[in-house]
Every structure is written in C-alpha cells, then in structure tokens.
Structure 1
Amino acid sequence: MASSVTQWVTSCSNIVLSVTALCSSYTLFKDHRAPSVGLFLLGLSAAACVLQPSSSKLIVLQREAEWAGELLAPALVSFDFLWLSQDHNSAHVLLCGSCLLLGLCNWLSADAFSVMTCCLGLSSLSCCLMVCLFAGNALGALGGVALSLPLLVTPQVGTNTLALLMSPAASEGLMKWVLKGALSIGCWASTRALGKFLLDVTDQCNISIE
C-alpha cells in the first residue's frame, strides 16, 4: 500500500512538473529560445518519468534523461539572463560547459561526475543571481535557486555513475517530491522573470536612443 501511494505521488509530481515546464517553454519560445529549449527538455524528461519501464536499460535512459533535463534547464535560463545583460562571453562559457559535461558524463569517474555536476549547478545559480540581484529581479533569483536545487542536493560523492543516476534516495521519497515542486516553481518564476527582464532591457534601450 505504501509503495503504491509513493508511486502515485511521484507520478503526480512528475505530471505537474511536465505540464508546468512545457507551458513555460511554449510561453518563452518567441522571445527566449534558449530557456524555452531547456524547459522543454525538462518537461519531456518529467513526462518520461511518469512511465514505469520494466527494462533496466530503459530505466537507465529514463534517469539519464531526467538528469540531462535538470542540468540544462537552469543553465539555459542563466544563459539567457547573461545574454540579455550583454555578457556574451560568460553566456558562451556556461553553454559550452553544460554541453561538455553532457558529452563526458559517461567517461567521468563517480567523484568527478558529482563534483562537475555540483560545479555546473553552482555556476548556473551564481550567474543567474549575479544578473538578477543587480537588476532587482527577485523572481529571477527565486527561479534560479529553485531550478538549480536538484543539482546541488541530489549528487552524492563516492558512488559509481550508474548507481548515482538510479539512487533510490534521489528518485523516491519526500525529498524527490520537494525537488520536483521546486522545479515547477522555478519554471513559473523564471518565465515571469525573463519576461520582466526583457521589458526592462527594452525600456533602457529606448531611453538611451531618445
């Protein structure tokens, strides 16, 4: 009974995250392509987690897709904040670092995998906070913290990569539901924050032209 309740709540949290992320992706697509892609991948991975595959290979692919979505979503949101603030060099470094980690994740040791994931999560968060705090965009700061939280909480040093991606502590229980809820809040807050930030940047450009 407890197992079925846990499975039901986990599925509901994934459904809520998937709907929120996909709706946010659709809203952002016109003016913010990079975060739109990141949230779209996050929504797809959450939708995939609703399924209950019987094959161990499919379970591994499911966990890897979930990790990739949680990795790219905050990085691409921070990329857009940096790009709109004209810090193109930092935006490119963050984007290249994210893609590099995705490509090398299967070649890294367990400790290196955990450290690099945490470092990228901290980099995404610090870039987002730096821009949002200077711009006075509280929603952006909230969204950055909420989207980066799974990367900072889930990784565990000292396990092999496969075990890390399939860790019960990272995939079941109250902490998992809290992290899914945080991601949903992050999607909503980031969508609102990016819209506001774009308006602020546009207004500043209009003022400078006048």
Structure 2
Amino acid sequence: MAPKPGGEWSTALSYLALGAVSLHAAMSTAQVSRGAAAGFLLQVLAATTMLAPGLGTHEDCLAGAWVATVIGLPLLAFDFHWVNGDRSSANLLLGGGMVLAVAGDHLGPEGRSVAGQAMLLVVAVTILIVAVFTANTYGMWGGVMLAVAGLLSRLEEDRLLLLPKEDVCRWALAAGSWAYCRALHTQCLQWE
C-alpha cells in the first residue's frame, strides 16, 4: 500500500515532538528523579534513532523502541511510586519491564506489540491511581494521556484525526510525558 501524502512529515514531526518533550523532561527531572530522567532519556534515544535516515526500519532501532517502552515507561513510574511509599509497586513495575525486555526476542511482533501496549496501560493506570490519591492534577493528566496512547494503539483504524494512528499515539505520549514531568515537580514540592 502506498503511503498517504503528508504521512512522512507528520511522522517526523511526532517523533521530533516526543524527542524534544522527553529531552526537556529528562533535563528538568535529573536532579529530582534520576529514574524518571533515565526513562525520559530512553524515549529520546528511541525517537532520535527512528528519525535517522535509513534507520527507522532497522531491527536495532525497533529493538530500541521496544526497550524504551518496556524499561523506559516503568522507570518513569518508579520514582512516582517510590516517593509515595509504594515500593512494592515500583519494584514490580521495573522488574516486570526488565523481564519483558529480556523476553522480547522470544515474542513475535504481535506478542511484542501486545506486551508493549499492556506495559503502557499498566504504567498509565498506576500513575493515575497514585495521582488521584495524592491529588496531583498533572499526574492525573499524565496518566490519562498515557492511557489514551495505549488505547489508541489498540484501535483497528490506520488513521485518526487525518493522521496515521501511530503519530497520534506519539502526540498523546508526548503530552503525557510533559504532564508527568510536571507531576514529578509538583510531587517533589509537596514533599519539601
């Protein structure tokens, strides 16, 4: 099937937005939350490699995107749970991500897709739960936007809002990352 006109620019723009938001979030959370900063940096690396000419379909880049999903996203949620005293959930999310990262070679493309979407939704729901109980508005928006990205990726349609579905998911992920970065700062101000 031939690509639709305008698809390349929207894809590049969505990767660029996700990379820029994640880089800003990594730099601004480095002093507050090193785990979340590392998760944001994994998103930056995955988005950057997908923008590199000729590497977007390379298997190593796709593996990098897989690792950014199953390790980077749990790292984002790790400190949020840890600071709120929910160490078991923090360790469970991170441990589950590590197991999925190692098991990724044994899963087929559909298995990796389902596992990545499940990880995204689990991270989103756990962030949302903690944010609701701590009244962290940015955390609630971050959790909702991450959940939207996960749910949109499960839709059968190829295009949403006149854009490729994957691009819309990246925009939602970028918005969720920005909100989650603000949530971490709000959370740290509450604990000071």
- Is TM (by shorter chain) over 0.5? yes
**CA radius of gyration, larger in:** 1
- Aligned to 1:187, which of 165, 177, 189? 177
Matches of 2:6 and 2:112, distance apart in 1: 32
d(CA) in 2 for partners of 1:11 and 1:120?
24
Residue matched to 1:174: 164
**Which ranges in structure 2 are unaligned for 5 or more consecutive residues?**
none
Return the alpha-carbon distance in structure 2 between the equivalents of residues 52 and 90 of structure 1.
39
Superposition map of 1:48-127 within 5 A: 48-53=49-54, 59-109=58-108, 112-127=111-126
| Unaligned ranges ≥5, structure 1 | 157-168, 203-210
**Which letter does structure 1 place at the counterpart of 2:127?**
C
Q: Which residue of 1 aligns with 2:40?
A: 39
Cα offset, 1:180, TM superposition: 1.5
Structure 1 residue 149 displacement after superposition:
4.0
Deviation at 1:148, TM superposition (A): 4.5
Q: TM-score, normalised by structure 1?
A: 0.77
When residues 110 and 184 of structure 1 are mapped into structure 2, their CA distance, relative to the original with a 3 A threshold, is closer
Q: CA deviation at 1:64?
A: 2.4
TM superposition shift of 1:2: 6.7
CA offsets per residue over residues 141-162 of structure 1, 9 Å max, x none? 2112323444444369xxxxxx
Match of 2:186 among 196, 201, 205: 196
Q: Is this contact kept in 2: 1:114–1:155, CA < 8 A? A: no
| 1:18 has 2:8 as partner | no
Cα distance change of structure 1 residues 5 and 113 upon mapping to structure 2, 3 Å threshold: closer
Question: As a proportion of its length, which structure holds more helix?
Answer: 1
Task: Count how many residue pairs are aligned between Structure 1 and Structure 2.
Answer: 188
Alpha-carbon shift at residue 76 of structure 1 (Å): 1.6
1:166 — aligned with what? Answer: none
Instruction: Report how far residue 75 of structure 1 moved.
Output: 1.6
Choose 123-132 or 96-105, whichever is displaced more. Answer: 123-132
The answer as to whether partners of 1:24 and 1:188 remain within 8 angstroms in 2 is yes
Identity %: 25
Question: TM-score, normalised to structure 2's length?
Answer: 0.84
